[in-house]
Chain A
């Protein structure tokens, strides 16, 4: 197991390094000169050159990359080329905001989606099943930003019971921060909830067909007992890859919803810094995104092996094979 973990960590480090090269190169191949963003398109060449010099854009690309990498691994993420603020501060606060929204959204999606899917599967073919299917169709069909706008219009403007946008910080104004998360969480979480409900229903029905479920019934176990003992574990294992992708994609930014609700999260930061060709911010953010995805899948794999003794046994014997 340890060997497996170490192996995977090493593998992730290599992937991350490769990703950083790609990110670095692609950003620089992208049209758009950050010096011009800073100085304006009509600035004199002397001014633009001065700005380029200050941004370190005159060094050859490999040198720029190595300088950045060296600073990056020593924890110096540099400063934004536009605002001059430390990248760590910008990225940190954006990621914290997004992580919070990811947490609430995931909780909503799982808390609503899994029970609904369970209900639909256990009452397969009844009106409850059809009701859940109807909910799923609607929730998956409505674009989340539109839903967000409707929520804002109804709850923030017409009834004024919840804020339209949130910039309150959890540490400074916990209540304000949480209430401002209610609407975006609903807007963002409803479709994943429906997706999870569908997948859960399918997974439950699939697991229900397993011999061991018949066997459990033959033992005289009640349905509640079977759900707790076997069904949920299997359904969770089935859903784990999807959950990993869901959490990963939420963490890497829900830019549109963040725009609708004026949440200063990672999605908005990436759009804004792309617009401004803020290399320092973009590089850090993109590398962190890659790391997040690697980490989430890694955690999912670990969870998988913890929950599935077959995989665990395999890993123990083989020392970790992907």
Chain B
């Protein structure tokens, strides 16, 4: 009982809101709902994030936590029935949520490149890969000559490490291995030298042996172009190696965000702690699974959405009743846990 009142309320609410205006991508209080007639189900609830040029931000969380929806909200490519109902998404100071379809189309594939989760399905099986890369260029430059496209495609394929690029450009996706296909995917994302690359679990569908190569490639691309990378993953090992900052999501909300070293050293949310424990790839994870099942949108527990599975808060009335706010704990480290001090490494 005593611990309940030990927490000092030093944090300021909504810390991210005060971070620099110089960020390339700035998401504020994003709300995404599933709209079915009259009923609305909140899928993403008040997510804010900032990403500067050249930086890699990892979105971490179990499936269904809203990390992909958050990323796709930036591109305004949400599945049918899913809508952004609040907040703002600014890229280079421009609010994408207020952009027209035409303006959005000019941004997609141009300022923002997308590397999708599954290279097996993200490429059209009926179209040669070279054409698919070329389409990304043509979509933003109607007047470009075929020869110019071909040259650029060859260059791109070569840059992502496709051997014999001119010949391979004429091949169809099924003739490539998964890793090779993802290289093509990266070539497509990089086609117009984007300022932001969104990579949605780009390696989950791939062989372990090629995962590192693909991530290296992505890193190289980032370094050479100076683009920002929004990397969605649930692999904390990847996070540890690639991220500058990490944003942990649970049940549609940000539960913790921090610089990568800070997060691994001093996790401040019981969920992050549990993630670290269950991830075998992470520095000292024991591979312990998180008990229980992930909270479902529309049927969220009261209080902290994580409390039924929480080591700390499962039995605490505060956790059961009071929704924790995302509060700044220290330098660039926010947590939405009632008892961050009890979280251990």
| Chain B CB within 8 A of A230 CB | yes
B77 CB-CB contact with A under 8 Å:
yes
On whether the beta carbons of B140 and A215 are closer than 8 Å, the reply is no
Residues of A within 8 A of B131 (CB): 229
Which residues from chain B contact A220 at a C-beta distance below 8 Å?
Answer: 105-110, 136, 139-140
CB-nearest residue of chain A relative to B172? A309
Is there a chain B Cβ closer than 8 Å to A233's Cβ?
yes
Within 8 Å CB of B138, what residues of A? 225
> How many residues of chain A are within 8 Å of chain B by beta carbon?
23
Complex CA–CA separation, A212 to B117 (angstroms) = 11
**Within residues 95 to 127 of chain B, which ones have a CB less than 8 A from any CB in chain A?**
105-110, 112, 114, 116, 118, 121-127
Asked if B342 is at the interface of the complex by the 8 Å CB criterion, the answer is no
**Taking the complex as formed, is A46 at the interface, i.e. its CB lies under 8 A from any CB of chain B?**
no
Chain A's closest residue to B78 (CB) is A214
B188 interface contact, C-beta 8 A: yes
Inter-chain contact B135/A219, CB cutoff 8 Å: yes
Docked Cα-Cα span, A84 to B56, in Å, equals 87
Answer whether residue A210 sits at the interface, using C-beta atoms and an 8 A cutoff: yes
Q: Across the interface, name the chain B residue whose C-beta is closest to A205.
A: B80
Give the shortest distance, in Å, between B272 (CB) and chain A (any CB): 30
Q: Contact: A217 with B108, CB < 8 Å?
A: yes
How long is the Cα–Cα vector from A233 to B132 in the complex, in angstroms? 14
Q: Is A41's CB within 8 Å of the partner chain B?
A: no
Knowing A218-B109, A219-B109, A220-B106 touch, does A211 contact B139 (C-beta < 8 A)?
A: no
**Tally of chain B residues near chain A (CB < 8 A):** 30
Contact B135 A225 (CB under 8 A): yes
Known: A230-B124, A234-B126, A307-B126. A216 touches B135 (CB 8 A): yes
Knowing A220-B109, A309-B172, A313-B175, the reply to whether A215 touches B125 (Cβ < 8 A) is: no
Q: Is the beta-carbon distance between B127 and A230 smaller than 8 angstroms? A: yes
A-B contact count (CB 8 A): 82
Smallest beta-carbon distance B96→chain A, Å: 13
Q: Are A310 and B139 in contact (CB under 8 A)?
A: no
Counting chain A CB atoms within 10 Å of each CB, the highest count among B131, B174, B191 belongs to: B174
A59 at interface, CB cutoff 8 A: no
Verify if B57 is at the interface (C-beta below 8 Å from A): no
A164–B231 Cα gap in the complex (Å)?
A: 69
Distance between Cα atoms of A229 and B123 in the complex (Å):
12
Whether A218 contacts B114 in the complex (CB less than 8 A), given A212-B123, A230-B126, A234-B126, comes out as yes
Kindly list chain B residues whose C-beta atoms are within 8 Å of the C-beta of A233: 126-127
**Which residues of B are found within 8 Å of A218, using beta-carbon distances?**
75, 77, 108-109, 112, 114, 116
- Once bound together, how far apart are the Cα atoms of A220 and B75, in whole Å? 10
Contact of A212 among B107, B122, B136 (CB under 8 A): B122
Any B CB within 8 A of the CB of A222: yes
Given the interface pairs A220-B105, A225-B135, the reply to whether A215 lies near B116 with Cβ below 8 Å is yes
Q: Residue A221 at the B interface, CB < 8 A?
A: yes
- On whether A211 and B122 interact (CB within 8 A), knowing A221-B109, A309-B174, the answer reads yes
Instruction: Find chain A residues with CB under 8 A from B116 CB.
Output: 211, 214-215, 218
Binary contact readout A105-119 vs B (1 if CB under 8 angstroms, 0 otherwise): 000000000000000
Q: Which chain A residue shows the least CB distance to B192?
A: A220
Interface residues of A in 150-194 (CB under 8 A from B): none
Q: A215-B116, A221-B135, A229-B135 are in contact. Are A310 and B121 (CB under 8 A)?
A: no
A206 at the interface (CB under 8 A from B): no
How distant is A19 from chain B, measured CB to nearest CB, in Å?
35
Give CA–CA (A310, B120) in the complex, Å.
Answer: 13
Q: Which residue of A lies closest to B112 (CB)?
A: A218
Chain B 138-157 interface mask (CB, 8 Å, partner A; 1/0): 11100000000000000000
Q: Are B174's CB and A313's CB within 8 A?
A: yes
| B62 smallest CB distance to A (angstroms) | 21
Instruction: Tell whether A210 pairs with B121 under 8 Å between CB atoms, given A218-B77, A219-B136, A219-B139.
Output: yes
Beyond A218-B112, A219-B135, list 17 extra A-B contacts (CB 8 Å).
Answer: A210-B121, A212-B124, A212-B125, A215-B114, A217-B108, A218-B108, A218-B114, A219-B108, A220-B106, A220-B136, A221-B105, A221-B135, A225-B135, A229-B124, A233-B126, A233-B127, A310-B172
Interface residues, chain A, with chain B CB atoms under 8 Å away: 210-212, 214-222, 225, 229-230, 233-234, 237, 307-310, 313
Closest 5 CB pairs of A and B: A220-B109, A219-B109, A211-B121, A309-B172, A218-B114
Binding site for A on B (CB under 8 A): 75, 77, 105-110, 112, 114, 116, 118, 121-127, 131, 135-136, 138-140, 172, 174-175, 188, 191
Q: List 6 A-B contacts (CB under 8 A).
A: A214-B116, A219-B191, A220-B136, A233-B126, A309-B126, A313-B175
